[in-house]
């Protein structure tokens, strides 16, 4: 029953993923090379705005902020001001930091808030009601990034998004398909239909989309900074919508939101340095744990995506995902054992438990994790001085909870769905009830977003990341392995077929046509269940050519409207 409810609930999300991931008729270059600066994002229009900020003398943080605001207009499936995310920064002198602008639970949140009047867990409340909306973090995060690490005045970074929203832009093919697929989902909220449809019908590609309410909200943000979102009219409109629809966020919650600066999590892999996001993302810790396990195997001696290779990588994934479920949550509320999980010694113990030619079954009696959907977006920026910025941010599901705030024009997230569903209830339908990630006032829900930066001997190598719920960690892992073990160009590393194992369910899911039949048979003979799915992630990345220093931008071909813009 529960599984059916979750499946029904997810159908629109899967449809959206397909709608945005066809990769055909790309309207802008997916690959670009340049000597100075580079921006790669899910929207060619937004990448161009970031590129123009770099060209005008802005640094990589400035370009990331401008790109992020532009994506909130041109890529509404995941670009946002009503959601949250993470920014990983590496300065030209090698210092690193991260900005955590993950949503937080409102003050009225409780661990059992996703249960109905009978006390039963409700997937609808958890993922599809206004109670699933977390206090947005994006504007506070971008404001902190601009104040601490930017050099361009704030208004210049927000204004291009204001112009896009008020003057309108030509709807690219991927967005037209995506909005058409999302019509039913967004239909619950009249303000969403009014904003994104023409008399209730989908726009065709090439038609102009104007977003006047969003333009007014962005204008307040441009003119008043973060207060233009967290105080005054925007806060008032958001709080009113919550009250109307049974949500929990109040004006006090909005006023109290703070982004956090946190030390990056660091790992090493075959002489390369990996810089990534710490908790409340599980991404950096889990990826480093996997890399540490895999470092003890001669992966380059195996053929890429051969049965042996997939086996070793899947076993590393399985072990890291079990630890993710056991230990990780908001570090402001519990103490995730980050040092242990990212240590080489711990990884070598785990490596010894991997059999050379046999899958290790996952134990269903242990923790089982809850669903995460697959709509988010990642963008990468490198500037002329080598400053690198890796940002992944999200509304959680495609178009978040599907609700545009009336009068304010922006979509709300459903990120509260990343908290565990019901305390103490862990079962094979996909619920997990462990303590570290239960909802509570002011708490950040556990994420899988893995914005990352790779360096070698103090020199920038690549900026990587992806959307895709829990598949994010494994997508980023495989891009890193493709670059380091298989010396692929960034374009090939991003394009190569991907697979995913997350401990439970005990299945390797593979992209459509991602592995030949003989490989699947060999994996099945080792004890694996292999399942083909749709595409996995969109890893918009940048690499530095070691010989020329050129920045090579590679937008993932799985994302139709994406673009790499350099100068």
Does residue 21 sit in helix, strand or coil?
Answer: coil
Pairing mode, strands 508-511 and 530-533: parallel
Q: Write the interaction track for ligand DON spanning residues 215-234; mark x where CB under 6 A is met and - where it is not.
A: --------------------
Q: Assess 396 for contact with ligand DON (CB under 6 A).
A: yes
**Residue 87 has which token pair?**
């920014």
Which residue lies nearer to ligand DON by CB, 434 or 448? 448
Q: Is the CB of residue 304 less than 8 Å from the CB of residue 493? A: no
Sign of CA dihedral 474, 272, 484, 311: negative
Question: Among 49, 50, 72, which Cα is nearest to 61's?
Answer: 50
Which residue lies nearer to ligand DON by CB, 323 or 415? 415
Cα 362 from Cα 385, distance rounded (Å): 46
Residue 520 burial (CB count, 10 A): 19
Among 160, 400, 451, 469, interactor with ligand DON by CB under 6 A: 469
Candidate ranges 116-124, 155-163, 463-471, 497-505; the one touching ligand DON (CB under 6 A): 463-471
Q: Assess 103 for contact with ligand DON (CB under 6 A).
A: no
Among 336, 467, 563, 566, interactor with ligand DON by CB under 6 A: 467
Question: Among 154, 226, 152, 187, which Cα is nearest to 387's?
Answer: 152
Residue 507 burial (CB count, 10 A): 16
Q: How far is the CB of 275 from ligand DON (least distance, A)?
A: 19
DSSP result, 142-166 = HHHHHHHH--S-HHHHHHHHHHHHH
Q: How far is the CB of 486 from ligand DON (least distance, A)?
A: 25
Q: Is the CB of residue 407 less than 8 Å from the CB of residue 106? A: no
Residue among 98, 376, 450, 475 flagged as catalytic: 376
Which residue lies nearer to ligand DON by CB, 282 or 519? 282
**Residue 67 has which token pair?**
């790109």
Cα-Cα-Cα-Cα torsion 98, 536, 444, 106, nearest 10 degrees, comes to 130
Q: How far is the CB of 423 from ligand DON (least distance, A)?
A: 20
Cα 231 from Cα 31, distance rounded (Å): 41
Q: Write the interaction track for ligand DON spanning residues 374-393; mark x where CB under 6 A is met and - where it is not.
A: xxx-----------------
Q: How far is the CB of 533 from ligand DON (least distance, A)?
A: 13
- How many Å separate Cα 357 from the centre of its chain? 33
Which residue lies nearer to ligand DON by CB, 273 or 330? 330
Which residue lies nearer to ligand DON by CB, 386 or 537? 537
Does residue 40 sit in helix, strand or coil?
Answer: strand
Q: How far is the CB of 172 from ligand DON (least distance, A)?
A: 18
Which residue lies nearer to ligand DON by CB, 132 or 376? 376
Which residue lies nearer to ligand DON by CB, 125 or 484? 125
Among 409, 451, 468, 563, interactor with ligand DON by CB under 6 A: 468
Residue 548 among the catalytic residues: no
Q: How far is the CB of 412 from ligand DON (least distance, A)?
A: 14
Which residue lies nearer to ligand DON by CB, 59 or 448? 448
Q: Write the interaction track for ligand DON spanning residues 411-450; mark x where CB under 6 A is met and - where it is not.
A: ----x--x----------------------------xxx-
Which residue lies nearer to ligand DON by CB, 469 or 514? 469
Q: How far is the CB of 179 from ligand DON (least distance, A)?
A: 17
Q: Assess 472 for contact with ligand DON (CB under 6 A).
A: yes
Q: How far is the CB of 195 from ligand DON (least distance, A)?
A: 21
Candidate ranges 167-175, 289-297, 466-474, 517-525; the one touching ligand DON (CB under 6 A): 466-474
Q: Write the interaction track for ligand DON spanning residues 315-354; mark x where CB under 6 A is met and - where it is not.
A: ----------------------------------------
Among 41, 43, 122, 373, interactor with ligand DON by CB under 6 A: 373
Provide the β-strand partners of residue 39.
381, 565
- How many Å separate Cα 258 from the centre of its chain? 20
Name residues contacting ligand DON, limited to 60-79 (CB under 6 A). Answer: none
Q: What is the enclosing helix (H) or strand (E) of 93?
A: none
Q: How many CA atoms lie within 13 A of 183 on its CB side?
A: 11
Q: How far is the CB of 550 from ligand DON (least distance, A)?
A: 30
Cα 200 from Cα 97, distance rounded (Å): 45
Question: Among 98, 502, 484, which Cα is nearest to 266's?
Answer: 98
Cα 416 from Cα 403, distance rounded (Å): 15
- How many Å separate Cα 373 from the centre of its chain? 10
Q: Is the CB of residue 465 less than 8 Å from the CB of residue 380? A: yes
Candidate ranges 213-221, 305-313, 370-378, 479-487; the one touching ligand DON (CB under 6 A): 370-378
Residue 467 burial (CB count, 10 A): 31
Q: What is the enclosing helix (H) or strand (E) of 97?
A: strand 96-101
Q: What number of chain residues touch ligand DON (CB under 6 A)?
A: 16
Question: Which residues of this protein are in contact with ligand DON, per CB under 6 A?
Answer: 372-376, 394, 396, 415, 418, 447-449, 467-469, 472
Supply the residues annotated as catalytic. Answer: 376
């Amino acid at each position: 029953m529960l599984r059916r409810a979750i499946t029904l609930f997810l159908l629109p999300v899967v449809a959206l993923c397909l709608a945005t991931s066809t990769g055909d008729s790309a309207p802008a270059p997916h690959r670009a090379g340049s000597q100075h600066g580079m921006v790669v994002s899910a929207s060619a229009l937004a990448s161009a705005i970031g590129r123009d900020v770099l060209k005008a003398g802005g640094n990589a943080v400035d370009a990331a902020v401008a790109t992020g605001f532009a994506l909130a207009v041109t890529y509404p499936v995941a670009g946002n001001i009503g959601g949250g995310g993470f920014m990983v920064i590496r300065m030209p002198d090698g210092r690193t930091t991260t900005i955590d602008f993950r949503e937080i639970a409102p003050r009225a949140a409780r661990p059992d808030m996703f249960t109905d009047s009978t006390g039963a867990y409700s997937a609808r409340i958890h993922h599809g009601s206004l109670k699933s909306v977390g206090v947005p973090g994006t504007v506070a995060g971008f404001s902190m990034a601009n104040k601490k690490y930017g050099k361009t005045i704030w208004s210049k970074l927000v204004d291009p998004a204001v112009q896009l929203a008020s003057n309108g832009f030509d709807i690219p093919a991927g967005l037209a398909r995506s909005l058409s697929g999302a019509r039913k989902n967004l239909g619950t909220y009249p303000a969403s239909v009014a904003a994104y449809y023409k008399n209730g019908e989908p726009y065709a590609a090439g038609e102009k989309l104007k977003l006047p309410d969003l333009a007014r909200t962005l204008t307040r943000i441009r003119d008043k900074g973060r207060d233009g979102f967290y105080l005054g009219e925007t806060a008032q409109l958001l709080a009113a919508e919550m009250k109307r629809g049974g949500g929990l966020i109040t004006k006090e919650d909005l006023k109290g939101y703070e982004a956090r600066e946190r030390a990056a999590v660091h790992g090493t892999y075959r002489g390369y340095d990996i810089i990534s996001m710490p908790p409340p993302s599980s991404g950096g810790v889990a990826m480093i744990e996997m890399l540490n396990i895999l470092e003890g195997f001669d992966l380059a001696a195996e053929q890429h995506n051969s049965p042996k290779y997939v086996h070793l990588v899947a076993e590393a994934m399985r072990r890291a995902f079990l630890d993710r479920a056991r230990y990780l949550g908001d570090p402001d509320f519990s103490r995730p054992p980050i040092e242990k999980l990212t240590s080489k010694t711990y990884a070598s113990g785990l490596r010894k438990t991997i059999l050379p030619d046999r899958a290790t079954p996952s134990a269903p009696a242990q923790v089982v994790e809850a669903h995460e959907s697959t709509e988010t977006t990642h963008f990468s920026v490198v500037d002329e001085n080598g400053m690198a910025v890796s940002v992944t941010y999200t509304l959680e599901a495609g178009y978040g909870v599907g609700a545009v705030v009336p009068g304010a024009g922006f979509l709300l997230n459903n990120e509260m769905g990343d908290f565990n569903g019901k305390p103490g209830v862990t079962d094979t339908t996909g619920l997990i009830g462990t303590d570290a990630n239960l909802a509570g006032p002011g708490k950040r829900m556990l994420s899988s977003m893995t914005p990352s930066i790779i360096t070698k001997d103090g020199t920038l190598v690549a900026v990587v990341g992806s959307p895709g719920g829990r598949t994010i960690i494994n997508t980023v892992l495989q891009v890193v392995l493709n670059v380091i073990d298989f010396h692929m160009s960034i374009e090939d590393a991003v394009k190569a077929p991907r697979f995913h194992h997350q401990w439970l369910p005990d299945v390797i899911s593979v992209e459509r046509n991602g592995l030949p039949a003989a490989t699947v048979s060999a994996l099945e003979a080792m004890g694996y269940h292999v399942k083909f799915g749709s595409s996995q992630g969109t890893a918009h990345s940048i690499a530095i050519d070691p010989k020329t220093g050129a920045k090579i931008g590679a937008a993932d071909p799985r994302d139709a409207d994406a673009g790499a813009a350099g100068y």
